[in-house]
Structure 1
């Protein structure tokens, strides 16, 4: 089975959305570094249920109407990378964490550089919010989409915080959203191999 993709416009430039089967496998940047995310043969499609839903939710996010994504994610990477990417999914909307915070969260506080490397290979940008990881000093650090895109994403979230009237509240409780992310994370990170 080949990968399906479509290119969509966004506030941070063109994004290439990639799916395989029922899961989203990547959101790639217009100026994507070759081989940052390794995928097989890709076929451009006009419509795909996963890609269409991803596009819809991204539009809501960029419009300040969505603070949490509800998509089936299908990560492909090493066990360590998947731990880092799962930790990214726990960073609340509008908040940031340092690389040390993530390393500590996954139980390996000495792996700060390895966390940075895994963060840099995160295939599902924005949804798995690697843009919310900053340097220990609070400075913005490297980002696959470029520092301007990282700054834009953080500004969108700052402007669309929980007290912003533009944000539509979810009808599901926080516990339900956490459970959904947990289930998706467990299923897609650890049960699938591409």
Structure 2
């Protein structure tokens, strides 16, 4: 099931399955795999709670999400997404730093970047907090304008 909410970064489609959030899509979703399965349900308790927590986040009143999550991905992607959840609100981390935490060498930062780009639950799994080694904003599946907005919300000023 799914619903759509408004946010400072545009419409978001929240998707749940088997009691967990499985996706948050920036609208319009660009890829066929992002099409939700099931019926729209604007009153589903989990989707309502997810929308409430996102509204609190966008208002600056929430720094941590407390939702059941079930992102679908490879074991490596899931490991990267677990690392993303360790990045504190209002801070950033580089792809290389995450690769180091996963004890990767060589092209580890590139592999982390690819996994980061496949994160199906942006904002809640904060892939927007990952930046280049020099602190620059790098690619973001939702677009750099959205990444800038999200980082600005967290820092209290425009990034």
TM-score by length of 2: 0.93
Q: Tell me what 1:8 maps to.
A: 5
1:87 to 79, 83, 88: 83
Once the two structures are superposed, the pairs formed by residues 21-170 of structure 1 within 5 Å of their partners are 21-35=18-32, 41-110=37-106, 111-159=108-156
After TM superposition, give the deviation of residue 41 of structure 1 in Å: 2.5
After TM superposition, give the deviation of residue 107 of structure 1 in Å: 1.6
* Equivalent residues of 1:32, 1:144 under 8 A apart: no
> Which ranges in structure 2 are unaligned for 5 or more consecutive residues?
none
* Equivalent residues of 1:6, 1:46 under 8 A apart: yes
* Equivalent residues of 1:6, 1:45 under 8 A apart: yes
* Equivalent residues of 2:25, 2:34 under 8 A apart: no
Figure out how many residues of one structure are paired with residues of the other and give that number: 156
TM-score by length of 1: 0.77
CA-based RMSD of the aligned residues comes to 1.5
Using a 3 Å threshold, how does the CA distance of structure 1 residues 32 and 142 change in structure 2: closer, same or farther? farther
After TM superposition, give the deviation of residue 116 of structure 1 in Å: 0.5
Return the structure number with greater relative CO, CA threshold 8 A, min gap 6: 1
